Structure 1
């Protein structure tokens, strides 16, 4: 397809900024609109597995990500007391390390600078207020009062995607899984040279993830009522209660958690858009189309894969609709496999009943999934 296309990316998160960079580097004219007032990232840190790092290499920011994070190669599995059960070397894609832990704000800065350097325009405090797909182009009115016509509108606007609601109403609203994630950033212990995961018969999982030379985060997953929220003054104590059965490095890290404001709590939900992810010249990607639980650490990886493959599909097709059809045919099986296995692992680790289909998926396991996901996407 001959550039430049006029592309609007709705959402300036990890997937949206990756898409903006990949598209702008190919000569397309890209606008990114983000409802937040600045380039910031909620949460603590994130794991970039090898397939995500391969995308970072393709858009020219691999070295920046590694410099801002902590590269690691081995997953350590411990029992609840902290005894080491296994050390599992992690696979890698050609030209990319096995894993990188990185603070979310640092990754947002790397990707924002890359998008701007590639020629994309970032507009904050802005969202879509009106949208009409007119066949050959999409007429868009933004909340700042401006109007523009685009060849393509891409929704990387997260699990609560306003663009998804425009296309499908509440039909694909996020589904709460019954579990929530507790996370807190801490000084990195010298022995945490990669992810340290403790699990066992406690129907819970806790892990330590290095995200820099000096930082790591403690994460844990527990069953929580949908309306539960931590007490703002006692969140650290509530986390301690939930992790009371863990010893070893988890207990040592937990002893450092003294500030309730440092505890980040998020419910784990998923989204499965069963209808096409694209309608005309409007397409949903990342969590807007296929949000999954975090149990394979692949949510953001699937989003950045979506972004790069979209750019590649536009390269190869003669029309935008043909590119979107080819993109979805390539992306849906892989993203749905990640979602299904992630949910099955959540159930397995927390003692929830699994289906026969999930039992088959669980035979792959986390190590097997890692080897599968370093295959070309």
Structure 2
């Protein structure tokens, strides 16, 4: 593995999936990295996450595939159904590398813990409950002011601090906040339906849904609905009653979930937003990755995978280039079109669903995008 010689120190802002991937990738190439996260407890919410073959490939590059396989659920098939439970067809999900599963799932807190272990194994200092309030490119480095009043100076600052990125707000005035797509996403985590054998998609309804196994005995289900603005958040009882009602037309595994879900199961709803930020993705020695710069919707189950890939590619390009600017430009060049395609395909699928397009039309976009994602990153 080539070492990075153009920088010695880096600050990664954001301790989520993309930030941890970037921190680990930079540290393994010889950079002295610090990681900060605004959450004092360094937590992640409790839904599951689908891990496609391309995402598993990225995690293999981080050396985490075996742990994910051991603590998650791995499968080599996904099936498309009508909402009433009628099988439409099996998705083609080829093995993209020898020994690499086609797809799988894991609970987000478990994946978060696995990645935190990777960060700690590299002795990366982590500061919690803090973010940045000022960034100043000066003399080949970045002067940083933190929200706790402390300061620091780094050769590189990586903004991986979510769709609501503070780094983007400070240093990238040509970018804008992510925009609503018109859909919202429901999620429930609960025990596994007895007949579920792999990943499942349910189309042909106003509210498409999907199910991913996250362990031998647990799953999470997502459902996409038209988002309606409201003044208050739903409490736990309203979440339960509303999701149960939304599932009233469904057969198959979603029907089983409707009939067996309890108020103790974790249920969440949030409106969807997306943004493919324009270049440049770097300003001097400050660079963005993950949802801060390429925020997508869950239609292709690729938001996490895109963030991990970006963290890896950033380190690779900095190691390949003779100077920082060339490395950052190489990172942007390798990531821009791939991320753009994922976001545009995901948003297109959402719009097709809002427009009540035929199941076959939505599935065609899904399969085409998944095939593109299999290409090397």
TM-score of the two chains, using structure 2 as the length reference: 0.93
Question: How many angstroms apart in 2 are the aligned matches of 1:123 and 1:193?
Answer: 41
Question: How many angstroms apart in 2 are the aligned matches of 1:159 and 1:260?
Answer: 29
Does residue 1:369 correspond to 2:369, yes or no?
A: yes
Counterparts of 1:71-110 in structure 2, within 5 Å, are 71-95=74-98, 96-110=100-114
State the partner residue of 1:239: 243
Shift of 1:117: 0.7
Question: How many angstroms apart in 2 are the aligned matches of 1:203 and 1:232?
Answer: 24
Shift of 1:363: 9.0
Distance verdict in 2 for CA 1:250–1:261, change over 3 Å: closer
Task: Kindly indicate whether the alpha-carbon contact (under 8 Å) linking 1:176 and 1:226 is maintained by their aligned counterparts in 2.
Answer: no
State the partner residue of 1:270: 274
State the partner residue of 1:161: 165
How many residue pairs were aligned? 370
Q: CA RMSD in A?
A: 2.0
State the partner residue of 1:204: 207
Shift of 1:144: 3.1
Question: How many angstroms apart in 1 are the aligned matches of 2:290 and 2:115?
Answer: 16
Task: Kindly indicate whether the alpha-carbon contact (under 8 Å) linking 1:36 and 1:126 is maintained by their aligned counterparts in 2.
Answer: yes
Task: Kindly indicate whether the alpha-carbon contact (under 8 Å) linking 2:168 and 2:175 is maintained by their aligned counterparts in 1.
Answer: no
State the partner residue of 1:282: 286
State the partner residue of 1:35: 38
Secondary structure at 2:299 match in 1: coil
Does residue 1:311 correspond to 2:288, yes or no?
A: no
Distance verdict in 2 for CA 1:196–1:24, change over 3 Å: same
Counterparts of 1:165-184 in structure 2, within 5 Å, are 165-169=169-173, 171-184=175-188
Task: Kindly indicate whether the alpha-carbon contact (under 8 Å) linking 2:159 and 2:288 is maintained by their aligned counterparts in 1.
Answer: yes
Question: How many angstroms apart in 1 are the aligned matches of 2:120 and 2:227?
Answer: 40
State the partner residue of 2:149: 145
Shift of 1:35: 0.4
Distance verdict in 2 for CA 1:18–1:5, change over 3 Å: same
Shift of 1:22: 1.0
Shift of 1:226: 2.9
Moved over 4 A (4+): 361-364
Distance verdict in 2 for CA 1:269–1:43, change over 3 Å: farther
Does residue 1:134 correspond to 2:138, yes or no?
A: yes
Question: How many angstroms apart in 2 are the aligned matches of 1:166 and 1:31?
Answer: 19
Shift of 1:82: 0.6
Task: Kindly indicate whether the alpha-carbon contact (under 8 Å) linking 2:14 and 2:162 is maintained by their aligned counterparts in 1.
Answer: yes
Shift of 1:34: 0.2
Shift of 1:314: 0.8
Among 43, 52, 55, the residue aligned to 1:49: 52
Deviations 1:54-83 (A, max 9, x none): 111111111011111100111111111111
Counterparts of 1:57-72 in structure 2, within 5 Å, are 57-72=60-75
Question: How many angstroms apart in 1 are the aligned matches of 2:198 and 2:275?
Answer: 30
Question: How many angstroms apart in 2 are the aligned matches of 1:363 and 1:217?
Answer: 21
Among 254, 259, 279, the residue aligned to 1:255: 259
Does residue 1:16 correspond to 2:19, yes or no?
A: yes
Shift of 1:4: 5.8
Moved more, 26-35 or 47-56: 47-56
Gap runs ≥5 in structure 2: none
Task: Kindly indicate whether the alpha-carbon contact (under 8 Å) linking 2:7 and 2:156 is maintained by their aligned counterparts in 1.
Answer: no
Task: Kindly indicate whether the alpha-carbon contact (under 8 Å) linking 1:36 and 1:125 is maintained by their aligned counterparts in 2.
Answer: yes
